[in-house]
Amino acid sequence: MLGAGGIIIYIGKAKNLRNRLSNYFNTHSSKHDIKTALLVSKICDVETIVTTTEHEALVLENQLIKHFQPKFNINLKDDKSYPYIKITQGPFPRLQISRNQIKDGSQYFGPYPSIGSSRYLLRMLYDLFPLRDCTQDITLDEIQPKCLNLDIGRCIGPCIYKSVKPDYDDLVHQLKLVLTGKNHTLTNRLKNEMKTLAQLKQYEKAARYRDRIKKLEQLSERQTVDSNSLPKHAHFIALEESEYFLYLLIQEFHDGKLLYQHGRFISKEEPLSKDEFLVQSLAEFYTTNAPPSELLLPESIKTLAESTLGNKIAHYSSPSRGDKDSAIKRCQENARMAIIRLEKTHFESKFNSKKALQMLEEALKLPTTPLRIIGFDISHYYGHGIVASAVYFKDGKPHKESYRHFKIKSLTDGKSNDVYAMYEVVLRRIGGALESGEPLPDLILIDGGLTQLGACNSALKSLTLPHPITTISLAKKLEEVYVNPKLPPIQLGKSHLGRHLLQQIRDESHRFALRLQRKTRQKTWLDSPLSKIPGLGQKRVDALYKKFRSLDKVKEAPLSEIANTGRIGNTLAKTIQETLKQL
């Protein structure tokens, strides 16, 4: 939150930005404490940075507060750091929790968000990896006194058994893989064991596994806003465009930490091309700002940036993998989010729902103003989990109380058929409205082609309607509106308010259908026999479904073909086929 002159006066985080800001600006000032009331009175602007996860937001918030010391972040100005996990040196390393990195030859992983007390964290790690936690010096050739942990199976006993050195090293290696987010096998095995315990109704043991998995996933999550692999002083650049705007984002990293974010944009109505906008923006920015040691950006704009800035920048880079590539992608995501907010603000200032409906009535030659509109969409995952949505707009605005989800019942053979699915969902939604006495829509919008529009019309003809309902479809490629399958489509202009309303309804119906489809897909995955195979995660299963469409086809496919799908490999491919053939 910025005060006068763009000075940062408060830094916070929010999972739901709308709700967080409403607590400041939509709440009566008499309900604020003195500090909050004073803060709100001084806020001139709000800027945001999008992070990948809540944990990433926690650490980024901590870093920014420490760097900028905003006036109103009173409770977070102390120098408490997030914890690191430390693996000591020696033939049999130990695990420790450290609040600081020290040059003592140990390996440090993190920092990690606070995930409980240090004792609990260490105990959880030792449960997963039975390494020693004693403080005595353990050598490779001399026997040392043993402790209780060896007797109760919580340590593999390097104090007594020197031959465990290879196993011990392997445990340390696995731990390092987990701490760097590269090992998913352990998590998958724990999930399978948890599911088995739940099926055996051993719920307490299953709950303990659930808690261990949760902690393990928190530890495995890479801290993407604080990376030692990034240059000490680097800038990341992303250039995005939409139908109406060009947007350039520059993110500054200092000592591997994201500290600053700068955005520039122009309307496409301005007499500047995309390349000209990039050149002018970079030239102006680096006239008044110190250039970094390295500029990282997508390959598509690298050459133009180099020709603009020349030897002002020591090194230009467009990596295709690793931390730097991930940071570029996050910069691009922030630019996309910024341009979406920009367009939303732009159109909200111009959008008039009443006028949009009137313009729609006129352009499409509708018999009446479409005050009630239902938008339909079908969603499935390669023929599985076929669902549909019916979103409801009243007076040009979402009426979420009247939204409906449907699981398609007429298709049970695992093959998708959007035409049959559309027929069913229109029949059920409009038929249900007739039975309940709910007002019928003036207009139905189909997210699909002419065949689906025909299916919608067939469903309506089978019902006894008190008055006709106009049906249209919005083709995605050219955003053309089909009112009559026998007539050419109607092309609405880019700035046409009616077009923006139809796009909003179409996008909302797609979003609502996809939400249910993902839930159905997750349940299908959990119930799938493939979920029980160690090392076979959901991404690989997705690749199998994408290529073979059904488990029966996977069962009959050549082993080499399965092995080459989603980097499964021969060993795992053989396990998959053996598992499926036992069903």
In this predicted model, what pLDDT tens digit does every residue of 16-39 receive, in sequence order? 888 888 888 876 656 777 778 888
Of the segments 98-107, 347-356, 490-499, 539-548, which one has the largest average pLDDT value?
A: 490-499
- Specify the amino acid at residue 402: S
CA-closest candidate to residue 53, choices 251, 176, 222, 227: 222
Considering only 31-35, 137-141, 207-211, 258-262, which range has the smallest mean pLDDT? Answer: 31-35
CA distance 145 to 136: 9
Q: How confident is the model at residue 62 (pLDDT cuts 50, 70, 90)?
A: confident
End-to-end CA distance of the chain: 58
What's the whole-number mean pLDDT along residues 521-531?
A: 65
Instruction: Give the contacts of 96 (CB within 8 A, at least 6 positions apart).
Output: 85, 86, 87, 88, 106, 122
Residue 482 tokens read as: 């089909």
On the question of a common fold for 233-348 and 529-581, the answer reads no
Q: Residues near 484 by Cβ (< 8 Å), separated by ≥ 6? A: none
Query: In this structure, how many other beta carbons lie within 10 angstroms of the beta carbon of residue 225?
Result: 26
Please name the fold of domain 233-348.
Answer: Nucleotidyltransferase; domain 5 (3.30.420)
Neighbours of 334 (CB within 10 A): 23
Domain 4-76, what fold? GIY-YIG endonuclease (3.40.1440)
Architecture of domain 353-521: 2-Layer Sandwich (3.30)
Strand partners, 407: 387
Instruction: Quote the pLDDT of residue 223.
Output: 44
Reported as type and span, the H/E element at residue 487 is none
Coil, strand or helix at 410: coil
Phi and psi at residue 469, in whole multiples of 5°? -115, 125
- Burial environment of residue 258 by CB neighbours within 10 A (0 to 12, 13 to 18, 19 or more): buried
Instruction: Confirm if 479 and 453 have CB atoms less than 8 A apart.
Output: no
Phi, psi of 330 (to 5 degrees): -65, -35
Taking only Cα atoms into account, the Rg of the chain, rounded to an integer number of angstroms, comes to 29
Task: Tell me the per-residue pLDDT of 452-496, one tens digit each, with 9 for 90 and over.
Answer: 999 999 999 999 999 999 999 987 777 889 998 788 889 888 778
Contact 159, 138 (CB under 8 A): yes
- Going by their DSSP bridges, the two strands 372-381 and 443-446 should be labelled as parallel
Residues 385-390 have a mean pLDDT of: 87
Structure-block tokens of residue 300: 């598509």
More confident: 347 or 435: 435
- For residue 436, which amino acid is it? S
Per-residue pLDDT of 278-313, as tens digits, reads 988 898 888 888 889 999 999 999 999 998 898 889
Nearest 10 degrees: Cα torsion 176, 177, 179, 184: -150
Among the listed residues 548, 549, 566, 546, the one whose alpha carbon sits nearest the alpha carbon of residue 558: 548
Q: What is the pTM of this model?
A: 0.47
Q: Is the pLDDT of residue 341 over 70?
A: yes
Residue 145: pLDDT over 80: yes
Count helices and strands in the chain by DSSP H and E runs: 19, 16
Residues 153, 170: Cα–Cα separation, whole Å: 17
Cα angle 386-387-392, degrees, rounded to a multiple of 5? 160
Please state, rounded to an integer, the average pLDDT across all residues of the chain. 83
**Helix residue ranges, H only, 399-530:** 418-436, 450-461, 497-527
CATH architecture of 529-581: Orthogonal Bundle (1.10)
Q: Which of 55-64, 286-295, 497-506, 560-569 has the lowest mean pLDDT?
A: 55-64
The residue extents of the domains of the chain are 4-76, 84-220, 233-348, 353-521, 529-581
User: Which amino acid is it at 572?
Assistant: L
pLDDT of residue 396: 92
Distance CA 24, CA 20 (A): 7
Residues 6+ apart with CB under 8 A from 246: 239, 240, 265, 266, 268, 272, 274, 277
